[in-house]
Structure 1
Amino acid sequence: MSTPIPRPGQHLPGPPPTVDPARIHAEVDELLAGLDTASAVHDDPTGLGQLPRQAHLLEQAHDVLVQALATVDKI
């Protein structure tokens, strides 16, 4: 009598999504490593010019992690 409950993403065509933790770590590590180079601006003594670049890198790292979580939710 029990009816199987469909899993999230089961209705999507194609192979089921997978998550490679090593790839996620590598992408985030690469983005975070860019924070050091973004802060190494010598002609900006206040450091205010580096904030937009650092914010962009952190946003990209956040997007990678959110996408990985969304993929895991579909598995």
Structure 2
Amino acid sequence: MTQGITQKAAAERLNSSEDFVRRMIQKGRLVPDEEGRLDPERVEDLARLLDRLRANGVGTVIGLIGEELGPEDRH
């Protein structure tokens, strides 16, 4: 892995919250190294995906669903 980035830096790149980054870690989409840093290439891949979804209006729908459902722990 190249030099990792912090969860805060990842959140900034993803234009999201650190809570979102933690959820992506829990889901295995992002994997921290031993120091808790994230692979910048994986963050960039996720950022491109989110950018495409937002450009197509999907981000708005996802945001609204999240507001309706409340906290992440909805099981």
TM more than 0.5: no
TM-score category by the smaller chain? under 0.3
Higher relative contact order (CA 8 A, sep 6+): 1
* TM superposition score normalised by structure 2: 0.27
